Structure 1
Amino acid sequence: MKIGLYFGTFNPIHIGHLIIANHMAEHSDLEQIWMVVTPHNPLKQKQTLLDDYQRLHLVRLASEDYPKIKPSDIEFKLPQPNYTVNTLAHLMEKSPQHEFSLIMGEDNLKSLHKWKNYEYILEHHDIYIYPRVSEETENQQFKNHPRIHMIDAPIVEISSTVIRDNIKNNKNIRPLLPHKVWEYVVHNNFYKK
């Protein structure tokens, strides 16, 4: 099975994440999308980052009505800080029957050359790029790379940071979150401080 890995803190997961994941599942050759919840980096200040398992639960709630979208805690089990190349190696060892690809925004493509072992990643994995609003031009180094696929997905400019700020300021952000996620966030009084 061809699986697209969509990494994020998902703090919280919002409709923009689901729009992109669903678009990749329906309009590319990816058969499943795994929403890989990235754990809290112990070297960084926690600030408003929810507990790893709370964020995983939010992803589970958001994706349960989408059979092609699955939550993943794969990085919870790996040593921190972790690199994408290590996650890919771990997945290929544990699930050699699957083919793993990356899903990333166009903005991340510009810094791909700074990733640990990016050459290895490009040699062994496809990368599916969704468009982002950006002032900079794309990194020409990867423009015609055979492993990089630009997907004509909707441009979604919804920010988890803005959602958290709005919750803190008692604004109604209900339309930006999947209903069950919104209910869980409100019930648990998340992001109020």
Structure 2
Amino acid sequence: MKKKVGLFFGTFNPIHIGHLVIANHMVEFSDLDEVWFVITPQSPFKTKKTLLDDHHRYQLVFEVTEHYPKLKPSNIEFNLPRPNYTVHTLVHINEKYGNTNEFSLIMGEDNLKSFHKWKNYEVILENHDIYVYPRISEGKMENRFEGHGRIHHVPAPIMEISSTFIRTQIKLGKNIRPMLPDAVWKYIDHMNFYR
């Protein structure tokens, strides 16, 4: 029996309690056995000053998931050709781990609304389930995704916390500690990140 693994993609810059709540909810309240946080690497063409180096963001996810056996950090995209397209990552991850795992995508409703613009989205949907969590967002859903057999809506809590907001508030000297897992707060504080 293959393990059902949900892939949760993001820059996680930084990972915050919203990410953790969603990932944990997916693994506890759906049929997924594990959730892997797939950390998107820094694009060589877009060097954003606010984006922490890949290894720091991996370390933050590692620190957070250490206490959650069903949640894992993944740096699979770090060594793939850029730009990273999900469809290519899925091919690679299936070649590497597909014998023992069956992979699905985890995305917010806002991403599902623009999913038809993704590279080879039909191929993704043909081969992978998508687990969708609610988001407050504008625009309407593409009809082709309504009632689709591979799309599963999971009634997770709505988490309106963003990494952008967190970075901005740290720079402004605000205390946003409750929005971050303790290990993340300590690491960021110790390294003096985002200031």
TM-score w.r.t. the length of structure 1 is 0.98
1:100 paired with 2:111, answer no
Question: Which of 17, 32, 35 lines up with 2:34 in the alignment?
Answer: 32
Q: Which residue matches 2:9?
A: 7
**In the TM superposition, what are the counterparts of 1:14-163 in structure 2 within 5 Å?**
14-96=16-98, 97-163=100-166
The one-letter amino acid paired with 2:131 is Y
Q: Distance in 2 between the 1:119 and 1:141 partners?
A: 11
Q: Distance in 2 between the 1:109 and 1:49 partners?
A: 25
Cα displacement (A) at 1:45: 3.3
Where structure 2 has 5 or more consecutive residues not aligned to the other structure, the ranges are none
| Deviation readout 1:31-54 (Å, 9 max, x if unpaired) | 000000000111223220000000
Q: Distance in 2 between the 1:110 and 1:135 partners?
A: 9
| Deviation readout 1:77-102 (Å, 9 max, x if unpaired) | 10111100001000111112210000
The one-letter amino acid paired with 1:70 is K
List 4+ stretches of structure 1 deviating above 3 A: none
Q: Which residue matches 1:178?
A: 181
1:187 paired with 2:170, answer no
Cα displacement (A) at 1:160: 0.3
| Deviation readout 1:125-145 (Å, 9 max, x if unpaired) | 000000000132222220111
Where structure 1 has 5 or more consecutive residues not aligned to the other structure, the ranges are none
The aligned length equals 192
Identity of aligned residues (%): 65
